A and B are shown apart, each in its own frame.
Chain A
Amino acid sequence: MEIKNEELSPAQTRHLANKKLGFKMLWIVAGSLLFAFALVPLYDVLCTITGLNGKTVTTASQLENAKVDETRWVTIQFTSSVMPGLGWNFYPKQASIKVRPGQVETVLFEAKNITSQVVAGQAIPSVSPGQAAAHLKKIECFCFQRQELKAGETKLMPLRFFVSNDLPVDVKEMTLSYAFFKSKD
């Protein structure tokens, strides 16, 4: 402020002080608005780490060590939903498999476009129980990018994955579900 305090009446000084504090409070408002939008990526990160919502990572994982845990079996069931608007049939070729943690497996899903147009879809994976989601590591998956099928085309979609050795011992059974949505673009 250019004007010195002595030149202001007490009321004016107070008015300035009030305005100043008021603007400071606006910073809190701006901060929490920012926080709301920051929560979107934060939530994603949190979900990836803890499996909070059962989402799996959408990029390829590397098999970090080849050690296979021969002491236990894990049953994995597969299921699928085709969401409204997508004219496809889509189902897992096998209902469930048993795997050893650390062992790479390949399973197949079959998709068929039953419409008379080219249609693109995007598969969204979800794992239950959520805490297992972070331990289901995909090396190759049709869900990493959108899939396009010509009219009447049938396509076998492979998924190569392994279950991490860190999977909690009490998880003996998990379900991997794919919801196939019609691609928006």
Chain B
Amino acid sequence: MFRQAINRLCFSLLLLLTAPQVFADYSWNFPEPVTPMALDTLHVHNKFMLIVAVIFVVVLAIMIYSIFKHRKSAGYQAVADKAPSTFSEIFWTLIPFIILLLIDFVIMGIPAYHSVVMMEDTRNESHLVLKVTGSQWRWQYEYMGNTDKGIEAGIEDAKGIKFVSNLSTPQDQIDGTVAPVNDPEKPYLLDVDNRLVLPVGAKVRILMTSTDVLHNWWVPQFGSSRLAVPGFIRETWVQVEKPGTYRGQCKELCGKGHGYMPVVVDALPAEEYKAWVIAKKEEMASADAGADKEWTKEDLVAEGKAVYEKNCAVCHQVTGAGLPPAFPAITGSKISLAPIFGADGKYLPDSHLDRVLNGKGIMPAWKATLNDTEIAAVITYERNALGNNVGDVLQPSQVKAARQ
């Protein structure tokens, strides 16, 4: 028995002694840091882990010595502590107390203080402001524009750009009907349709909020994580110093889709960032223009299927059967079959369009996240597919009118 114990303990000792080498290998530690905050966090973490490893090894060594030396089977006779005088007891027990006091409040306490202050330094000298809104189960990004400092630095102003970022892993892989596909370009569960794009080197002040439950926006390589609280605004900051794609996840349990709302950030150099901003703005403008043209039912249904499967299928299921009672079925539902508009040409309360635009309870208000064409398409799809056959067509222009 004890041979095993020795072997095991020696092995763990060896592991701990090689700890500095282990720390150098990122797959056994935090991923490579790309922001000052993450770098600082890594340093603090390494330092603290080393300290506690040393404490552990020293204490363990004393214990092991005692276990082998002071055992009955080795014939060791117990040496009773001379009824410890109060003085000697205080003296001896103060030693570990003071060692830990020193470690806690000096060796660990001082660097920890500086890290906290740095981490919470959200107020000064940001270049641009980004608003991140968590919803079940997707992130919405809104560029609130450059600050004076950002304008001085000549960063392309992305103000007005606003989009939703959905998990893009195919549904059959998520459901487990197909094995997850190993694609480094589109990693399983960590890829989205619309990535957040940030300029390299810019300090970004990130405002966090939520429209339903608590979420937590976390990219490990950024070292920042902050709770998104519905009705409240919180902030953190990132300054990505290396171009690349960085992936993270929601880290506050937010319901059944909690594991399925990744964060993907592309950090681009200034020029590429500028090109992205211009292209994105054009894309948004042409989507607006698309709302004015007359669409055929087939085109809307085709477009709507894509929108539905990306945004709605998580809850209402690909088939439209829903997951009652929390998520009602689309197929045969009162809302999908009832007329949308009243006699005055205005959409009716609790009509299909009302529910999609404005939401209710767990159902998000899609007017904040989908454009006119997408809303028109998805409603037309829901009314004319998924086992429904209402026959009407909702034009993007009607949605545009309804939401103004």
1/0 per residue B333-367: CB within 8 Å of A? 00000000010101111000010011111111101
A79 close to B233 (CB less than 8 A): yes
Contacts of A79 in B (CB 8 A): 131, 142, 144, 207, 233
Place the interface of chain A in its size category: 35 or more
- Tell me, in angstroms, the Cα distance from A29 to B83 when the chains sit together: 40
Contacts of B144 in A (CB 8 A): 77, 79, 95
- Tell me, in angstroms, the Cα distance from A127 to B148 when the chains sit together: 20
* A104 vs chain B, min Cβ distance (A): 23
Which stretch in A10-18, A35-43, A62-70, A166-174 binds the other chain?
A166-174
Contact of B205 among A127, A173, A181 (CB under 8 A): A173
B230 close to A179 (CB less than 8 A): yes
B346 close to A171 (CB less than 8 A): no
Q: Given that A126-B232, A175-B233 are contacting pairs, would A170 and B124 also be in contact in the complex, using a CB cutoff of 8 Å?
A: yes
**For B129, B342, B364, which residue has the most chain A Cβ atoms within 10 angstroms?**
B129
B365 close to A83 (CB less than 8 A): yes
Contact of A170 among B123, B231, B404 (CB under 8 A): B123
Q: Given that A79-B144, A95-B159 are contacting pairs, would A114 and B402 also be in contact in the complex, using a CB cutoff of 8 Å?
A: yes
* A181 vs chain B, min Cβ distance (A): 7
Number of residues on chain B facing chain A (CB within 8 A)? 45
* B144 vs chain A, min Cβ distance (A): 6
Does B382 touch A at the CB level, under 8 Å? no
Nearest A residue to B235 by beta-carbon distance? A128
Q: Given that A170-B123, A172-B124 are contacting pairs, would A177 and B233 also be in contact in the complex, using a CB cutoff of 8 Å?
A: yes
Does B133 touch A at the CB level, under 8 Å? yes
Contact of A175 among B133, B207, B363 (CB under 8 A): B207
Q: Given that A53-B232, A128-B207, A175-B235 are contacting pairs, would A84 and B361 also be in contact in the complex, using a CB cutoff of 8 Å?
A: yes
Does B220 touch A at the CB level, under 8 Å? no
Does B290 touch A at the CB level, under 8 Å? no
* A49 vs chain B, min Cβ distance (A): 17
A83 close to B230 (CB less than 8 A): yes
Does B211 touch A at the CB level, under 8 Å? yes
1/0 per residue A60-99: CB within 8 Å of B? 0000000000000001010101111111110000011000
Does A117 touch B at the CB level, under 8 Å? yes
Count of A-B contacts judged by CB separation below 8 Å: 111
Contact of A84 among B122, B209, B233, B365 (CB under 8 A): B365
Q: Given that A82-B365, A115-B349, A115-B354 are contacting pairs, would A181 and B129 also be in contact in the complex, using a CB cutoff of 8 Å?
A: no
- Tell me, in angstroms, the Cα distance from A139 to B348 when the chains sit together: 38
- Tell me, in angstroms, the Cα distance from A177 to B209 when the chains sit together: 9
A152 close to B358 (CB less than 8 A): no
Does B168 touch A at the CB level, under 8 Å? no
A81 close to B123 (CB less than 8 A): no
* B130 vs chain A, min Cβ distance (A): 11
Q: Given that A114-B402, A172-B124 are contacting pairs, would A83 and B349 also be in contact in the complex, using a CB cutoff of 8 Å?
A: no
- Tell me, in angstroms, the Cα distance from A160 to B288 when the chains sit together: 34
Q: Given that A87-B354, A95-B159, A170-B123 are contacting pairs, would A81 and B209 also be in contact in the complex, using a CB cutoff of 8 Å?
A: yes
Contact of A181 among B231, B347, B363 (CB under 8 A): B231
* B182 vs chain A, min Cβ distance (A): 37
B231 close to A179 (CB less than 8 A): yes
- Tell me, in angstroms, the Cα distance from A179 to B142 when the chains sit together: 15
Contacts of A117 in B (CB 8 A): 349
Does A102 touch B at the CB level, under 8 Å? no
A85 close to B404 (CB less than 8 A): no
Nearest A residue to B148 by beta-carbon distance? A75
Contact of B232 among A54, A86, A87, A116 (CB under 8 A): A54
Does B234 touch A at the CB level, under 8 Å? yes
Does A124 touch B at the CB level, under 8 Å? yes
Give me the 8 closest cross-chain CB pairs, A-B, nearest first. A84-B359, A87-B358, A116-B346, A177-B233, A179-B231, A126-B233, A126-B232, A128-B235
Point out residues on A near B: beta carbons under 8 Å. 53-55, 75, 77, 79, 81-89, 95-96, 112, 114-117, 124, 126-129, 151-152, 170-175, 177, 179, 181
